[in-house]
Amino acid sequence: MIKDDFNALLKSIARRFLPAGIRQAIRLFINIIGDWKNILYLARLRMRMESKKSGTIMHCLDYKVRINDGPNYYILYKDIFLKHIYHFEAQRRDPLILDCGSNIGMSILYFKRIYPQSRIIGFEPDPAIFPYLQENISINNLNKVELIRAAICGQKGVLTFSSDSKYGSCLTGSKPSDIQEVWMEYNVPCVRLREYLAEPVDFLKMNIEGAEWEALADAKERLSQVREMVIEYHHLPGLQRTLHNILGLLHEMGFEYLINDFDSETNSEVKSPFYLGRDSRYYLLIYAKHR
């Protein structure tokens, strides 16, 4: 409180005695210093995580996180906890959140940090990653979290699932054509998004590696149950281009939306000068809110 009062006093003095141009220059300088501090912090963290082995326990704020890959943890921490890509303003203390594509659980930890009473259903189909997800929920004593080892898609049943056991994965029919390395293949259960939209959902997070259009189209008439959502759209070599379909569906179902491209570290191919070819791969975040 004392610090806040002192800062308010400094701002009042600056407004009274400093010309507007000088005040603007000071604000710009402070912002630049803050940006450089963040850049240096992230650079140090990225270098430190490059050597971390699978199974290492990391301390993430007041959480413990068992990681499956150092660089994967770095990107998740940066995007989710520092960039706040999944932040939303809940209208109740116990929002219902669907986390489609939970990976090791970083997004669930974030949701529980901002809304401790939230009810979360997390979906992760990868048999190699699911144990990490389970442990990270368990060791942090999180309640009201249901984990389902299944893929969200446009049909129910069992499909072939390919994975690098870190962060790259895809279902049958959505495997990028430029994947050359040998991925593990599993038969995984699939569930339909529409089955979990029988009641109002405060936030839907979707990162399902190229299956987003099929899942959303199948759930079309129930999307009105969702108040806010963030969808990760995947533009990958060999996959059908569905961005226009997704945006058209959101508009038709009464959503306002905006599109974000992460940053150039997470999403390097969005840097200018722009190029689009058969081998281009990039990711977009679609934030949508029901009108």
Scan for tokens 């669907």, then name that residue.
98
Predicted TM-score of the model (pTM): 0.85
The β-bridge partners of 286 are 231, 259
Q: Is the pLDDT of residue 8 over 70?
A: no
Scan for tokens 């704020």, then name that residue.
61
In the predicted model, what is the mean pLDDT of residues 246-269? 93
**Mean of all residue pLDDT scores within the chain:** 88
Dist. CA 184–CA 163, nearest whole Å: 5
Q: CA gyration radius for the chain? A: 21
- 176-235 pLDDT, tens digit each: 776 656 788 889 999 999 999 999 999 999 999 889 999 999 999 999 999 999 999 999
Q: pLDDT-based confidence at 120, cuts 50/70/90?
A: very high
pLDDT at 258: 97
In the predicted model, what is the mean pLDDT of residues 147-153? 95
**220 vs 270, which has greater pLDDT?**
220
pLDDT at 119: 98
